[in-house]
Structure 1
Amino acid sequence: MKTYIYLILFVNSCFAQSKLHGTIKDATTLLPAATIVINPGNATIASDNSGYYDIQLSDGTYTVSVYYTGYKPYSKKIAVKGGTVLNITLTPDETALDEVVVTGTMKETTRSASPIPVEIITPKLFRKNPTPSLFEAVGMINGVMPQLNCNVCNTGDIHINGMEGPYTMILIDGMPIVSALSTVYGLSGIPNSIVERIEVVKGPASSLYGSEAMGGLINVITKTPGKAPLFSADYFMTSWGEISMDAASRFKAGKATSLLGVNYFNYSHKADKNHDNFTDVTQQNRVSIFNKWSLERKENRLASIGARYVYENRWGGELQWNKRYRGSDIVYGESIYTKRAELIGMYQLPVTEKIFTQFSYNWHNQDSYYGTTPYMATQQVGFVQTYWDKKLTANHTLLAGAAMRYTYYDDNTPGTAKTDGTNAPQKSPLPGLFVQDEWEVNGKHTLLGGYRFDYDKHHGGIHSPRVAYKFSPDVRNTLRASFGSGFRVVNLFTEDHAALSGARQVVIEGNLKPERSLNSNLNYVWKWPAKPFVLNLDVTGFYSYFTNKIVGDFDTDPTKIIYSNLNGYAVSRGVSSNVELMFNFPLKLTSGISYTDVYRMENNSRIQQLHAPKWSGNFVASYSFPNNYTIDVTGNWYGPMRLPILPNDYRPEYSPWYCIANMQATKKLPYGLELYGGIKNIFGFVPKYALMRPQDPFNQHINDPVNNPNGYTFDTAYNYASLQGRRVFLGLRLTVQ
């Protein structure tokens, strides 16, 4: 009998049931719905709404792995016997963290809590393919395309969802510091070392930001001086002769902390790989200095001020051109001298309520020649706004404010001249009032409503409403729907200066109305923390309808440019998706794809938008090896896009499918050093066609029936990709915390 009792006790001891339990949290918060995998046995459970988990196990040793979106995977071996407690603290993953964003609602909130979809790139991302300017870096965002519009001077703009650059608003720290004439030149020369992140909102945002924010906006957030590294530097060069240097330093003076950044870029190699006697890439010499100060105040109130100065000398043209030919008809060149100064600031009033005042000012001077045509322009933009961020109840947050924007613009074209030829600079005040209410109905539903009223002296009152809704049934699923309007006041000449720099008479047909847009977005985010990887899926469908679009008629009368509102409408519609895979081994994959259909209807004719591919996408693959080695593969691909062609043109109207892929290897060294190098444009893609009639840039022989039977003219606008082919780069970074 005793033998049987001992046998039963032995069997029970072999199969004794124990309990493993505990909590999953980060440094401050319990984390619900975390995925817990226990091996051997591959048992998978999830933490409950309070971050608690428990599971029955046999006594033994197990490996416990935990996965949660935005945090590094956790793994630990533990002996389980009886009631074993294992409380787990996860570490945020900087590459996938639920970042703080401000652009969508003009106040800090987490990206997942924002009812407005906001896309982000950080310096860590655009360092995977180093670029000398943010103009190129924003191309790593799906649906955002930096578009070069001239094969000689390489000026361009930034398209969001296929819409032209004038419909994209560029902000620095929430201030409209970059606009109109200076959009591209303003993004060039921002030191990468002072950038905290770049936030992108697609679709109208005029209810908060006013004119120009009708296609989307890009907000460059600079680092807070107190949180920046003590010193950082980044230097790289390419086999084409490009040299880029970026450095920043933090220092303290009393209660103030300063961040000083310097950016220098030089490219002075006259490459002509397609043998047309023109530079393939614009020659550039640029220096930019940025200085930002933040002040320590009582109760952590905000106070900061920053300034930046940019000087750039760029030119492109025939290889034998130099500055003594500037403006002449002997050797063709396009030469642009740019001087730019900016001032931005933020001050939180010393009152119990959260009231903020922001201000900015920029001065932009451009001295340029396009062949023999001069274009001299000065633009000044002053902006100030005050807003009140008030939590009305536990669920209601009110944002209300007033803004004033004043634009001064003068150039040497008919755009700023009276009928008698005397100079008449444009002076455009634009005051506005805005209000926004965010209502968190409960933990699953959030509703946002916004309205803005602006007054323009030419158009009168302009109304811009917006409504957004977010539904999050759990931490893994989020659905956002939004509807809003945007507007853009008439501002012809800062965008069409190349056309207006000639002798054409400018004719405005009727009273031009401000351009308007209506936009709807439906966004779905799904986060799936599985055993081998964490999957993030972000899908957005969008539809924008534009009215009163201002177009220039260059064909009716060759001596005139006739401007009028479009007798019809324009549409931008499509779907974009982003997929992110983070494996529990050191591999991360990111891919985006967009389908965009952009066109306008005019006189019952459907006209496809120029430089707007229907299909486009990007990809990033990163793998970390032992001994601090990392390999990054990045790239963008584009489908056919409609291009500007001449009558009887031999060049195809649509570009081919193409891909620009890059590879980089990085080695982390001691003392904060990183050595990196790689290949840009691995496949060596360059457009087949570039300039039309480069042998006759001054159009002196266009009426030659033998050599030019079609009457072609010199043309620089047929462009869809850089003429730079494959090139090797090598660089060194230093960060001292």
Structure 2
Amino acid sequence: MRNTLLSFLSVLGFIQIGFGQHNLSGNLSYENEAIPYAQLLISPIQASTVADFEGKFEFTNLPKGSYTLKIIALGYKPIQMAISIPYKSPELSITMEKDVFGLEEVTVTANRNETSRRNSPIPINVMSSAKLEQLSANSIADGIKFSPGLRIENNCQNCGFSQVRINGLPGAYSQILIDGKATFSALNSIYGLEQIPTDMVKRIEIIKGGGSALYGSNAIAGTINLITKQPVSNSASVKTESSLIGTKSWEQVVAGNASIVSKDLKQGVTVFANYRNRNPYDHNTDGYTELPKLNNLGMGAKAFQKIGKQGILHLEIHSLEEYRRGGDQINKAPNEANIAEELKSSVYGGSISVDLINRNQKNKTSIYSGLQSTEMDNYYGAGQDAKGFGKTTDLSTISGIQFINESNNKISGKGEFLTGIEYRTDNMMDEKPGYNLKINQELKTIGIYTQYNWQLTGNWIVNAGIRADWYNLNNASNVSPRLNLLYNPSSDITLRAGYSRGFRIPQVFSEDVHVELVGGEIQAIQLAQNLDTEISDSYTASADWDKDWSSGVIEVIVEGFFTKIHNPFILEERNDNGTFSILEKRNGSGAQILGTNLDFKISDQKYYALQAGYTFLQSEYDAPLQWSSETENDQLITEFLRTPNAYGNLILDVYAIKNGTITLTSIHTGSMLVPHFSGYIENDVLKKTEEFLEINLKISYDFKLKKSKKLTTYCGVKNILNSYQSDFDQGQFRDASFVYGPMTPRTYFAGIKWSWNK
């Protein structure tokens, strides 16, 4: 009996050893310095943890077996390694490699699934939250102007209406996404990039060129995907920044965020808040603003809940409240001013999604839904006109389901099949009763897309996709294909080539509801009765050379692009209706954009990091256009207005002392044609602007406090050379759209930030 009992206990011990739970601990470092807050995941059991402030991590209760350990840390190359549990040594020590420019960073926009930048057949630029902070960017617009091929411009002295141009095309040609979802409506693109605070965003992914094959209408120039912050550890931060614009006007920003995550990392939530207040700025002291008064408050949250071992639920909500007022006599009611543009907007949005992954990690199903609601009370008027009040509302929704299957075999190579369907609505109403203007637009779109990403055995990757959209406007449909190739002739060189088709539905866009004041008179935009869908064919080719050496990294990218636009939307002046002038949006005969983007990056990974981008382009219409009703036939133009043939940017970070950084940035804007309409001047003229060179300087220093706390102080000067427009119109009869060049004059700023990460 005793021997039987001992034998039974021995068997139990063997079972416990073979099938019991085990722990795995270790540390992460780079050149003997700890790497904090890295994310670690063991697949396929989906066990996860986060490294602490000292780079230490621990997994508990792991079953015996063979797995894959994935490690992701901001600024370092991702690691994927095979491990066996129980591990052969009590502690795992891992040394990571620097990835200063994010060449190995995992992105999601190019393929609607996780793909490293290096292995993506579609070129993609990424701007991290750390880079946005280093640039002292308080809004998305402040940051993305330093991305190659992009340019931000101000289009109105009164309200500060700005837009982003990608490869020379205006803002309405770009699709803006939030977490990959097109809830950012055509209306919100007019002020939205200024309203969204950087504290909301983890990173920004930017694709230049047609993206309609995956994301539908408007993705002709490119796609800007705002990836919101997700909680990964218990943390908090708060900052305040003050700026003095042109030695005349103050701007104040107060922002903060906090995250909390459960010990088992199965639930988490992050919240943010951002307040911004800017006094109006009058550059030429004529009593009329060049920059409007601005007051906005943004708040939001993002949470996750793991569902079993293979699923996760995401929830995101945000609200943006803004008041802006430009013109003269800012402290009076708008209808008591000589010129006034006043907007009070409220934006509420959010999304919910569920990701389900099968146990072998080969299949992933995503179900998602999102919406964004906008209400805007506005006034556009001159001469104390009581008729200038109006209201604009917009509700955009999106719902869809997406399926991904991954395969891998020795004969055909690695493949990824993706397909999905989504339903989008956009209901917008714009009313200006005093001028008898009303727009009531209800847009419904169904899109079905499919794509296959094929990594051949060897150095080739082929990506082919197609999307079909059906929309109720004109009862029309559109098919958007794309094909992209990647070839690696060596480990240092990546060649890419691609074709994509894009389209724009003949709908009302943000600039169409913006009423301009030209010469003291109202100027509005209306759509032509027979406005047809705008179609584009885009071609790109690029060569990417990057080289790591013992103490640094260098990357050079040369990219050529050509876009042919069929039935482009153009504006032509109609007769004055007696109350205001009308610009009618019609289809033109065609247009084309041809250009080159150059991107250069170099860093020794210790003392400096330099990145610079420059764009050369030519953009023209197939047939001459009449830009003004006053022009004669010999003054017709084919060149795109407000589009320089050359522009670029530069970012230089110098790590002069430990915990300190000097950041020098620059933006060059080449000469361009800008229309200048009569009112302040006698006749309409076409202005050939001068070139501008904007140079900015920032100095920051981190004070290490107790263990996981940090205090950052910084100060600097934006537009040191005060490179700013000098010929603004003056007074009540000015052309408010005659504005070009850098967004702000010389500006001094200083700030302080406290942060904690457990």
Give TM class, smaller chain: 0.7 to 0.9
Matched, 1:250 2:287: no
- Does the 8 Å CA contact 2:155/2:739 hold for their aligned counterparts? yes
1:40 is matched with which residue? Answer: none
Matched, 1:466 2:502: no
Aligned-partner Cα distance in 2 for 1:519–1:724: 33
Aligned-partner Cα distance in 1 for 2:377–2:523: 21
In the TM superposition, residue 408 of structure 1 has moved relative to its aligned partner by 0.3
Whichever residue aligns with residue 464 of structure 1, its letter is S
Matched, 1:688 2:722: no
Aligned-partner Cα distance in 2 for 1:135–1:177: 18
Q: 1:179 aligns with which of 177, 185, 194?
A: 185
Whichever residue aligns with residue 256 of structure 1, its letter is Q
Q: 2:335 aligns with which of 322, 327, 330?
A: 327
- Does the 8 Å CA contact 2:153/2:743 hold for their aligned counterparts? no
Q: Deviations over 1:651-673 (max 9, x none)?
A: 76122111111111111102211
In the TM superposition, residue 273 of structure 1 has moved relative to its aligned partner by 3.4
- Does the 8 Å CA contact 1:229/1:735 hold for their aligned counterparts? no
1:637-716 equivalent positions in 2, closer than 5 A = 637-646=668-677, 653-671=687-705, 672-691=710-729, 694-697=730-733, 714-716=734-736
Q: 1:346 aligns with which of 344, 353, 359?
A: 353
Whichever residue aligns with residue 496 of structure 2, its letter is R
Name the SS of the counterpart of 2:673 in structure 1: coil
In the TM superposition, residue 633 of structure 1 has moved relative to its aligned partner by 0.3
In the TM superposition, residue 684 of structure 1 has moved relative to its aligned partner by 1.2
- Does the 8 Å CA contact 1:385/1:401 hold for their aligned counterparts? yes
1:180-199 equivalent positions in 2, closer than 5 A = 180-199=186-205
Instruction: Give the direction of change, closer, same or farther, for the CA distance of 1:176–1:493 in structure 2 (3 Å limit).
Output: closer
1:10 is matched with which residue? Answer: none
- Segment of structure 1 superposing worse, 155-164 or 510-519: 510-519
Q: 1:619 aligns with which of 613, 628, 650?
A: 650
- Does the 8 Å CA contact 1:651/1:689 hold for their aligned counterparts? no
Q: Deviations over 1:315-370 (max 9, x none)?
A: 1111x332x42234x43221110101001122124767411012110000111112
Aligned-partner Cα distance in 2 for 1:507–1:721: 28
2:514 is matched with which residue? Answer: 498
2:747 is matched with which residue? Answer: 727
2:403 is matched with which residue? Answer: 388
1:235 is matched with which residue? Answer: 240
1:432 is matched with which residue? Answer: 447
Matched, 1:477 2:515: no
Matched, 1:355 2:365: yes
Whichever residue aligns with residue 177 of structure 2, its letter is L
Instruction: Give the direction of change, closer, same or farther, for the CA distance of 1:496–1:415 in structure 2 (3 Å limit).
Output: farther
1:200-599 equivalent positions in 2, closer than 5 A = 200-225=206-231, 227=232, 230-240=235-245, 241-252=250-261, 255-268=266-279, 270-318=280-328, 320-322=329-331, 324-328=332-336, 330-349=337-356, 353-371=363-381, 372=385, 373-394=388-409, 395-413=414-432, 425-457=440-472, 458-492=474-508, 494-499=510-515, 509=528, 511-530=530-549, 533-555=552-574, 561=582, 563=584, 565-583=586-604, 585-599=606-620
- Does the 8 Å CA contact 1:410/1:416 hold for their aligned counterparts? no
In the TM superposition, residue 442 of structure 1 has moved relative to its aligned partner by 1.9
Q: Deviations over 1:559-594 (max 9, x none)?
A: 674746434111121001110011265111111111
- Does the 8 Å CA contact 2:300/2:317 hold for their aligned counterparts? yes
Instruction: Give the direction of change, closer, same or farther, for the CA distance of 1:479–1:723 in structure 2 (3 Å limit).
Output: closer
Number of aligned pairs?
632
In the TM superposition, residue 723 of structure 1 has moved relative to its aligned partner by 6.2
Instruction: Give the direction of change, closer, same or farther, for the CA distance of 1:192–1:508 in structure 2 (3 Å limit).
Output: closer
- Does the 8 Å CA contact 1:509/1:562 hold for their aligned counterparts? no
Aligned-partner Cα distance in 1 for 2:585–2:659: 60
Name the SS of the counterpart of 1:112 in structure 2: helix
Compute the TM-score of the two structures, normalised by the length of structure 1: 0.80
Name the SS of the counterpart of 1:239 in structure 2: strand
- Does the 8 Å CA contact 1:193/1:233 hold for their aligned counterparts? no
- Segment of structure 1 superposing worse, 522-531 or 308-317: 522-531
Aligned-partner Cα distance in 2 for 1:253–1:440: 38
Instruction: Give the direction of change, closer, same or farther, for the CA distance of 1:449–1:715 in structure 2 (3 Å limit).
Output: same
In the TM superposition, residue 494 of structure 1 has moved relative to its aligned partner by 4.0
Aligned-partner Cα distance in 2 for 1:592–1:493: 30
Whichever residue aligns with residue 163 of structure 1, its letter is L
Whichever residue aligns with residue 235 of structure 1, its letter is T
Query: Identical aligned pairs, as a percentage?
Result: 24
2:88 is matched with which residue? Answer: none
In the TM superposition, residue 94 of structure 1 has moved relative to its aligned partner by 4.9
Aligned-partner Cα distance in 1 for 2:185–2:208: 17
Compute the TM-score of the two structures, normalised by the length of structure 2: 0.78
- Segment of structure 1 superposing worse, 272-281 or 251-260: 251-260
Whichever residue aligns with residue 270 of structure 2, its letter is L
Instruction: Give the direction of change, closer, same or farther, for the CA distance of 1:562–1:623 in structure 2 (3 Å limit).
Output: closer
In the TM superposition, residue 97 of structure 1 has moved relative to its aligned partner by 4.8
In the TM superposition, residue 167 of structure 1 has moved relative to its aligned partner by 0.5
Q: Which runs of 5+ in 1 are unaligned?
A: 1-23, 29-68, 73-86, 698-713
In the TM superposition, residue 460 of structure 1 has moved relative to its aligned partner by 1.9
Aligned-partner Cα distance in 2 for 1:374–1:315: 13
- Segment of structure 1 superposing worse, 428-437 or 299-308: 299-308
Name the SS of the counterpart of 1:127 in structure 2: helix
Aligned-partner Cα distance in 1 for 2:525–2:237: 50
Whichever residue aligns with residue 357 of structure 1, its letter is I
Aligned-partner Cα distance in 2 for 1:455–1:688: 48
2:13 is matched with which residue? Answer: none
Whichever residue aligns with residue 327 of structure 1, its letter is N
Q: Deviations over 1:295-332 (max 9, x none)?
A: 122224221011001111111111x332x42234x432
Whichever residue aligns with residue 681 of structure 1, its letter is N
- Segment of structure 1 superposing worse, 578-587 or 143-152: 578-587
Q: Which runs of 5+ in 2 are unaligned?
A: 1-30, 41-74, 79-92, 626-635
Instruction: Give the direction of change, closer, same or farther, for the CA distance of 1:189–1:263 in structure 2 (3 Å limit).
Output: farther
- Does the 8 Å CA contact 1:414/1:506 hold for their aligned counterparts? no
2:86 is matched with which residue? Answer: none
- Does the 8 Å CA contact 1:476/1:527 hold for their aligned counterparts? yes
1:599-614 equivalent positions in 2, closer than 5 A = 599-602=620-623, 607-614=638-645
Aligned-partner Cα distance in 2 for 1:715–1:562: 15
Aligned-partner Cα distance in 1 for 2:685–2:233: 50
In the TM superposition, residue 71 of structure 1 has moved relative to its aligned partner by 6.1
